[in-house]
Structure formats: C-alpha cells, structure tokens
Structure 1
Amino acid sequence: MPESAKTTRDVPASGRLEGSALTEDTSFLLARANALALAAGNAALAEHGLKVRSYAVLALAAEDTRPSQRELAEFLRLDPSQVVALVDELQRRGLVAREADPSDRRANVVVATEAGRALHARAEHAARSVQHRLHAGLSAAQRDQLAELLRQLAFPS
C-alpha cells in the first residue's frame, strides 16, 4: 500500500500518540517510564521467583539496615498491608525472617536469611542488567543526571 494510502489505523497507537500534548507532561512521562521499568524488571526477576516489589524488600533486608515493616512501607510508598504480604511471601520461601526490634519490642524488623542473601546476589545481576538495557540510549553523564534528578523528586528536602 502506498504511504499516502495508510490510515491512522495502520500506524501503531504508540507512534500516533507520541505527538500528543500529554508527552509534554512530566508526571505522565515519569509514570510511563515507571510502567516500562516495572514490566522489564518483573520479567527479568521472574526467573528468580521475584517481582520488583519483592526484590526491593529483599534488597533492603539484605543491606543489614534491619528495616521495620513500617519503614519499608514508608520508604517504598506502599500500603502497610502490601508490605506484610510481601514479607509473608519472602518469609514463607525462607528468604527473610522477622525479628523483634530491640528498640521497640512491638515492632518487627526484616532481615535476610543466608538463602535470601544468596538469591539477592543472583537477582541483583538481573535487575542491573535490565536497568542498563533500559538506559542504554543515555550517556553516562545523562544517567547520572537522571538519577540525581529522580533522587531530588523522590526525597525532597
């Protein structure tokens, strides 16, 4: 079919809509980039039996910061019930344990088990690989700048 005969139905929606005024909206762009990153991250972590959210909980538990479930919920911007479900699943798999918080016996901290640390080390490689693939079109300086700008948005002072 000649190029002039193509209709808008012949062009993929993403291509047709890229000229939309919405693509000037920073919040939309952040949400779209996040959706793409989550989909790629979940796909890469699937071979380890993880998704981005469960990987994030495991990664924080493996850092020896001993976060409480409340701290995890606040840091990850998740509802506390979601964190409970994530920790329950990781604990069922023997990857994390709940321990009493020495400074507040009413609270639990989440710590990675040896199996959890080993899985985190393997899964971290997959997570970094997908990040490199997603950011391949950016120079090192652009990646650093993007990370700094996102840190400023994520953790306003």
Structure 2
Amino acid sequence: MSARTSGERPMPIDPIAEARRQWLEHGWADAAPGMTLVTSVNRAQQLLEARVEAVLRPFALSFARFEVLRLLAFTREGRMPMQSAVRRLQVHPTSVTSTVDRLVRAGLVEREPHPTDGRATVLAITDAGRALVERATAALNDEAFTATGLEEEELAELVRIIALLRKRSGDFEDPRPVPEPL
C-alpha cells in the first residue's frame, strides 16, 4: 500500500525515528515514546486516509460523506435521527450537519421531520444514495480495506491495541452483561 504520488520516492530515513532521536538527545526521554506514538498514529492515519480518499474520488465522496451514507444504508429503513448519527460517527454536530448538507444537495440524503420531536431531524438515504454507497463500498473493500499492507494477524493485533488505547481514553465502555432470562 502506498499513499505517495507517482514519482515520489520513499524518504531515505524514517522522520519519526529521527524525531524520537532528537527527543532523546534533548533530554525528553520520558516523553519520547508518547511523541513517537502520536506522530506514528497521525502519519498512519494520513496514509490510510489518502488511500481511502483516492478510492472514493471517482464517486465524488469524501470518507465523511461515505460514512453517513453507509450508516444510513445499514439501518433497516434507511433512516436515522440526526442526533443518533452524530453519536455513532463520533464527530462534532457541526461537521455532521455540513456533511449532510452536501449529501442533500447531491440528492443522496433527505432531511425529514422527526415523527415525535418537533425540534429533531431524521436523515433518510435516497435510492441514488443507496446505489452510490453500495458501489463505493465494493470499491473500498476491493482497493483499500483488503489491501492494508499488513497480515491478518498484524491487523488484529493493531486493532486490539488501538481499541485498548481508545477504551482507556474513555472512548467507549465494555457492554454491560445481559442478565439471564428468568
């Protein structure tokens, strides 16, 4: 997997390893592992995002717009209250609103009044939105999600470690045990 543009060669050194060396040289040994983690994760995100965005470009979708469409397409009826979408996407409400605005202008999503809450809005995927997200999902599965550059075991371990970081950062809790039926 390469996120570099054609003609660009890999760097002769790992700039994150060099930054770590500099941190150590400047006496910040206690912070060097954390700095290395943060910059490594940020760079990995850039590489993964570039790959995903390149796959989605022919569909005129960003990953944020794809996520909204995919979320709606996963629901039974293709609808969801805007607040539920905000919670599940884990982004600021303003970002979701901006993303939805673009999808509405493109005819891929519609806003509907909430059936019981006059202040709330329901998002509904259109037939065009559903068709587009299915094609985009197939492309992402073929060109990005199955071509990560890591082996299956490596992927599982990386996801496990990142989930541990997310959980310890308060991103989610383990589900509560479901009581046995009486």
1:114-129, aligned counterparts within 5 Å? Answer: 114-128=127-141, 129=143
Identity fraction in percent = 28
2:29 is aligned with 1:31: no
**2:146 corresponding residue in structure 1:** 132
Residue-by-residue CA offset, 1:29-61 (whole Å, 9 max, x unaligned): 221111111111111100001011111111111
**2:29 corresponding residue in structure 1:** none
Q: Which one has a larger percent helix, Structure 1 or Structure 2?
A: 1
Deviation at 1:141, TM superposition (A): 2.1
Distance 1:140 1:86 in 2: 32
**2:172 corresponding residue in structure 1:** 156
Q: Residues 64 and 111 of structure 1 are in contact (CA less than 8 Å); yes or no, is this contact kept in structure 2?
A: no
Q: Residues 16 and 40 of structure 2 are in contact (CA less than 8 Å); yes or no, is this contact kept in structure 1?
A: no
The TM-score with structure 1 as length reference comes to: 0.77
Moved over 3 A (4+): 11-14, 148-152
Residue-by-residue CA offset, 1:86-112 (whole Å, 9 max, x unaligned): 111111111111122234231112121
**1:80 corresponding residue in structure 2:** 93
Q: Residues 100 and 109 of structure 1 are in contact (CA less than 8 Å); yes or no, is this contact kept in structure 2?
A: yes
Amino acid in the other structure paired with 1:56: E
Distance 1:67 1:150 in 2: 28
1:14-53, aligned counterparts within 5 Å? Answer: 15-20=13-18, 21=20, 24=33, 25-53=36-64
Amino acid in the other structure paired with 1:57: V
Amino acid in the other structure paired with 1:142: E
Distance 1:151 1:89 in 2: 31
Amino acid in the other structure paired with 2:129: G
**Which SS does the other structure have where 2:80 is aligned?**
coil
Q: Residues 96 and 110 of structure 1 are in contact (CA less than 8 Å); yes or no, is this contact kept in structure 2?
A: yes
Deviation at 1:14, TM superposition (A): 6.4
- Aligned with 2:122 (options 109, 125, 130): 109
Q: Which runs of 5+ in 2 are unaligned?
A: 1-8, 24-31, 174-182
**Which SS does the other structure have where 1:98 is aligned?**
strand
CA RMSD of superposed structures (Å):
2.5
Distance 1:77 1:32 in 2: 21
Q: Which runs of 5+ in 1 are unaligned?
A: 1-10
**Which SS does the other structure have where 1:105 is aligned?**
coil
Amino acid in the other structure paired with 1:131: F
Q: When the two structures are aligned, how many residues end up with a matched partner?
A: 145
2:157 is aligned with 1:145: yes
